[in-house]
């Protein structure tokens, strides 16, 4: 097993244990729920990192027409959706204790859900096309659209209107506590660990897909 896989496991275990035990700032309303930062935000960062990788492979396919890039793009996109759902779930758990309900109709909650639906549609699109090359090309073009739509929905739209999310719609950012030295020692390793885990899971999915349809990719595996 590669060293970065061991690093992923180590960082995740460290962030979980330290996230529970290490002292955190006590802020009004948030109190101990501030520890959700170690689990909620890394899910979104991992999702976006995997979507970025998927975008890169889609562009690579459009430039080269090499089928394995289409497989890489699909695999990274599928795993990114899982982390996106985990981001929504952990966010709803956090919102229950800080906003009073799991789904508050916040612009960033709604925009994040729409972004995930766009990527769900990516999977539906792929399953509706039978011709391999046509599916790969149309999916790659759609994936480019999906990525930039996700960026707009998550990073731009919530900033244009009132939002309960820190750093959006005039609401102050996380700066009062995300710069706290104790939290940085947990938050940054958590992001790295979960991103590495996402890449690991994606690589496993790619291997499984290669085995399931080896004839299609046999001439392209090096």
What is the domain partition of the chain in residue ranges? 36-217
Total H helices, total E strands in the chain: 8, 0
pTM, entire model: 0.89
Query: Residue 205 is encoded by which pair of tokens?
Result: 């999915």
Query: How far apart are alpha carbons 186 and 214 in whole angstroms?
Result: 41
How do the pLDDT tens digits run along the chain, 222 residues long? 789 999 999 999 999 999 888 887 776 666 777 888 899 999 999 999 999 999 999 999 999 999 999 999 999 999 999 999 999 999 998 888 877 888 877 888 899 999 999 999 999 999 998 888 999 999 999 999 999 999 999 988 877 777 667 655 554 455 554 457 778 889 999 999 999 999 999 999 999 988 876 656 555 544
Asked if residue 102 lies in contact with residue 158, where contact means CB atoms within 8 angstroms, the answer is no
Residue-wise DSSP of 49-83: HHHHHHHHHHHHHHHH--HHHHHHHHHHHHHHHHH
């Amino acid at each position: 097993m590669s060293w970065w896989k061991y690093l992923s496991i180590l960082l995740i275990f460290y962030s979980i244990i330290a996230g529970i035990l290490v002292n955190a700032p006590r802020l009004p309303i948030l109190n101990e729920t501030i520890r959700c930062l170690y689990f909620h935000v890394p899910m979104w960062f991992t999702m976006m990192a995997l979507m970025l990788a998927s975008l890169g492979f889609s562009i690579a396919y459009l430039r080269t027409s090499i089928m394995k890039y289409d497989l890489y793009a699909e695999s990274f996109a599928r795993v990114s959706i899982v982390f996106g759902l985990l981001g929504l779930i952990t966010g709803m758990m956090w919102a229950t204790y800080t906003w009073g309900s799991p789904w508050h109709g916040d612009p960033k909650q709604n925009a994040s859900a729409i972004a995930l639906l766009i990527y769900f549609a990516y999977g539906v699109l792929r399953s509706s096309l039978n011709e391999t090359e046509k599916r790969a090309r149309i999916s790659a073009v759609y994936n480019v659209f999906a990525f930039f739509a996700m960026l707009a929905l998550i990073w731009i739209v919530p900033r244009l209107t009132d939002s309960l999310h820190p750093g959006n719609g005039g609401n102050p950012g996380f700066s009062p506590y995300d710069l706290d030295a104790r939290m940085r020692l947990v938050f940054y390793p958590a992001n790295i660990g979960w991103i590495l885990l996402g890449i690991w899971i994606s690589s496993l999915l790619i291997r499984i897909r290669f085995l399931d349809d080896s004839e299609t990719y046999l001439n392209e595996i090096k």
